[in-house]
Structure 1
Amino acid sequence: MDNDFIARTAARFAIPGAAVAVFHEGREHYLSHGVTSVENPLPVNEDTLFLLGSVTKTYTATAIMRLVAQERVSLDAPVHEYVPELRLVDGRSFTVRQLLNHTSGLDWGTLVDTGEGDDALARHVGELATLKLVGAAGERPSYSQSGFNLAGRIIENVTGQTYEQAVTSLLLEPLGLGNTHFDRDAVMTRRFAVGHEKGEIARPWRHWRAGNPGGGIAASVADLLAWARFHLSDGDGIDFTEMRKPTASLRGSNLGDAIGVGWFLREIDGVRTIGHGGSSNGQFAELLIVPERGFAVVSVANQGPDGIPFNQAVVRRALEDHLGVVDRDPEPLPYNASKAAEVAGGYGNDSMVMTIDDTGSGLVLEVLIRPEIRASAEVELPADHAPFPMGLLPRDEYVITDGAFAGQRGFFSRNASGEVTGVDLAGRTFGRVR
């Protein structure tokens, strides 16, 4: 993989700016392309800051593990032990581990801006009383942004610091990650990328502060690769082996085969990997580590919706070039009218609606943000994507076959009578709408 490949792939997906870093056989390799912004362009390099989105969750989980190592937090203790102010609609209890492997039963999250003050996370926790619950605690994984924001509140209550201060003192400063930031005032004094959606600047640059534990870090690929190298080390007292143990199985998911503590675990071509992706408003990041081979690759891009397939193409090329590991999407089954009729129809959750249409020769999936969510949002939300063609796989699974989310996998749920009652997309549950 070289700069020519990055340039060609960026042109293919119309990416204004991207940066890539690889660690292999004890050496670091950096590649970059394009500009930070189409309106105010500066060349992207390995020190340019990009928003990492949900890759931030690996930092939050590792900060919790630092507190575990200090015997200040237990993974199997109830969250209420550390956040006694938490109130949920059913008064349920779940553990810290269940927050970090997305099995708490909390829905994806709330869209309420709780401000930029030091009480932002505390106020966010107050909003969780209205959050929908998608299953019993420990029942199954369902990706939850608010779950990780709640984990950030654990860190605040245990340390007596703000989440950002605690992560800085627990991780960023000891590791020398001086180009990793939460604070917009720190970001704006450095070279940073802005997001784009279909060639236009995506605004706002970042959403509200309460989302920081689940997705608020801005970092350079040099710092992100240093973060990956830390997770290839002995952990400096943090139990990385515990973080890599499967704690919840994933079905029909390109995110991985299982979830550990903050990491998605996946076997690719016979090699075990840990990783996490992230998306912000027009910015996308991907981090993949192969512990047994001492290998890591990171890729960031500043254009939606195709930043995701760009990063995927880069990661796959790096795996093949450096390790000889080949990652391929599964081949869908031939179109079957009766199978298509079983799954076609409407689905939904609190924030999105999904329609699966049977065209007579194939299936098409469309996901839209609910109009009432758009109307009530205090910030501009990303544009909806065009419908995606999809194909069915064995065992009630499916794969998206084209578009920005090509390769994305999921599965259908059935009741005791065999009727399709729901669909899983990117770890989020959509119930069938009759």
Structure 2
Amino acid sequence: MTTSVETDLAGLATATGVPGAQFAVRLGGRTAVSRHGDGIADDTAFPLGSLTKPFTAALAMLLVDDGDLHLDERLPQGWTLRQLLTHTSGLASNIDEDAEHTSDRRAWVARHCGAADLVHRPGSAFSYSNVGYTVVGQLVEDATGMSWEDAVTSILLRPLGVEPAFVGGPAAARPVAVGHSFGGTRIEEQSAIPVEAPNGGLALSAADLVAFAASCVDDLAPMFVDQVADLPIGPYGIADGWGLGWAAYRDWFGHDGSGDGTSCHLRTDPRTGDVVALTTNSATGRDLWERLLRTLDVDVPDHPTPSSPPVPGHGPTACVGRFANGPLDLTVVRHADGGLATTTGDRLEFLGELRFVLTGSTRFDGRFLRDPRSGEIDLLQVTGRLARRYDKDK
């Protein structure tokens, strides 16, 4: 199996413009690890981006098991830890990059995560939130008396034999891959906001990802249960459901993450313990991931895709307007050719029933949603994030 995996990785990485990658596959209890690229070793760490989130969730769940945190205790701001882990807290999707930043998560959360900042009522809908995992990091720090970095290292990773690297943290004791843009330009430094480390600050190898996923299957099985199946607004376009920190793809669970010129991917089947992980140092890493999945003997599900082709037409006029979620701000306008587009130049190709594909440098599945009482379009959901119609005159 190792020879086949190595051959596929080298050839497909070259075809997709990925300078360096690691591919780790655990099937039937056996693990094969391969690597590609100059300077890429088995222990090279790759910035994980949002793939950090399952680690923060697992750390929180270990603290729940110890009685230091509680899944369903309502916190003063109105949400629960379960809601934070499943992106149903109502918190904004992203941290404003222009806002004042600090490594003091408690101070940041106190200033920016009040009830007035919610996009929806906690527990009522799914809306992917980086901010929510910043809050989880703060809860971990309060419960342990340690920084999130120290807690995730000593409580979660060192027991697995893993010594992590951190984006924007102290100098790592292991090599860290340098990212590459779509054009292949090296990106020497990752942009890192210290307060965001719990939602995007880890750097690990593909073998580390496999070890982590296998440990979760063995010791934290409750994480792999869909928590949002009964919600009227779920994670449309990015997953089939969501567990405690893990996205659900049919019967598999996983997460993806991208940094500045990196793309990393992880899937596990909790029924069998099978795991597939890819780390890459290129923005084109998703192309490599999709091609590698097709080479495996096991069916590893990925993001759901719309089953219907675009519907001829220009899209409903009722969709024109401004939609916001924290710093995420999208204005939909009527294009000169009659179709709909955002003011940033992305086009909306409608699939029917208010579903669309947002096309630009990349393609994202999205939809508009109606207020169940008034019937008016009041929400836009894209990449799992909800944006509410915004009227500056009100």
Q: TM-score, normalised by structure 2?
A: 0.84
1:173 aligns with 2:182: no
Aligned residue in 2 for 1:245: 225
How far off its partner does 1:294 sit?
A: 2.3
The residue number in structure 2 matching 1:420 is: 377
1:11: Cα distance to partner? 3.7
Alignment of 1:372-411 (within 5 A): 391-400=349-358, 405-406=362-363, 408-411=364-367
Q: Does the 8 Å CA contact 2:23/2:206 hold for their aligned counterparts?
A: yes
Task: Work out whether 1:147 is the aligned partner of 2:127.
Answer: no
Deviations 1:297-345 (A, max 9, x none): 11122223x333433443x325xx2214566733333433264555456
Matched, 1:429 2:392: no
Q: Does 1:354 align with 2:330?
A: yes
Aligned residue for 2:163, secondary structure, equals: coil
Quick one: distance in 2 between partners of 1:253 and 1:32? 33
Counterpart selection for 2:294 from 290, 293, 317: 317
Contact 1:9–1:310 (Cα < 8 Å) also in 2: yes
Q: Classify 1:324/1:70 alpha carbon distance in 2 versus 1 (closer, same or farther; 3 Å).
A: closer
Offset of residue 97 of structure 1: 0.8
CA distance in 2, matches of 1:79, 1:161: 20
Structure 1 residues 343 and 77: CA distance shift in structure 2, 3 A: same
Q: Is 1:292 matched with 2:268?
A: no
Secondary structure in 2 matching 1:71: coil
Q: Deviations over 1:271-317 (max 9, x none)?
A: x011111122222211111122321111122223x333433443x32
> Per-residue deviation at 1:357?
6.3
User: Structure 1 residues 164 and 56 mapped into 2: Cα distance closer, same or farther (>3 Å)?
Assistant: same
Cα distance in 1 for residues equivalent to 2:261 and 2:366? 23
Unaligned runs of 5+ in 1: 35-41, 81-91, 369-386
| Deviation of 1:62 (Å) | 0.8
Q: What amino acid is the match of 2:25? A: V
Corresponding position of 1:255: 238
Counterpart-to-counterpart distance in 1, 2:139 and 2:84: 11
Q: Give TM-score, length-normalised by structure 1.
A: 0.77
The 1:365–1:45 alpha-carbon spacing in structure 2 relative to 1, beyond 3 Å, is farther
Contact 2:366 2:383 in 1 (8 A): yes
1:171 corresponds to which letter in structure 2? L
Q: Give the Cα separation in 2 of the matches to 1:367 and 1:147.
A: 28
- Aligned-pair Cα RMSD in Å: 3.0
- The percentage of aligned residue pairs carrying the same residue is 30
Query: What's the counterpart of residue 146 of structure 2?
Result: 161
Counterpart AA for 1:295: D
Select the residue among 116, 120, 123 that pairs with 2:107: 123
Matched-pair contact (CA < 8 Å) for 1:333–1:391 = no
C-alpha change, 1:291 and 1:424, in structure 2 (3 Å) is same
> Structure 2: how far apart are the matches of 1:326 and 1:123?
40
1:114 aligned residue: 101
Residue of structure 2 equivalent to 1:29? 32
Q: 2 CA distance for matches of 1:125 and 1:326?
A: 35
Aligned to 2:122: 137
CA drift of 1:204 comes to: 3.8
CA displacement at 1:429 relative to structure 2: 1.8
Give the letter aligned to residue 378 of structure 2: T
Worse overlay, 423-432 or 142-151: 423-432
Residues of 1 paired with 2:44 and 2:93: CA distance?
Answer: 30
Counterpart of 2:261?
A: 282
1:6 matched to 2:2? The reply is no
Q: In the comparison of the two structures, how many residue pairs are matched?
A: 379
Secondary structure class of the residue paired with 1:75: coil
Residue identity matched to 2:285? G
1:330 aligns with 2:309: no
2:231 is the alignment partner of 1:273:
no
Mind listing any 5+ residue stretches in structure 2 that lack a counterpart? Answer: none
**Corresponding residue for residue 56 of structure 1:** 52
1:164-243 map, 5 Å? 164-181=149-166, 184-187=169-172, 189-197=173-181, 198-202=183-187, 204-233=189-218, 235=219, 239-240=220-221, 242-243=222-223
Distance in 1 separating the partners of 2:12 and 2:347: 22
Contact 1:172 1:180 in 2 (8 A): no
Match of 1:65 in 2: 61
Q: Distance in 2 between matches of 1:366 and 1:12?
A: 32
Partners of 1:326 and 1:262 in 2: CA distance: 18
Indicate the SS of the match to 2:212.
Answer: helix
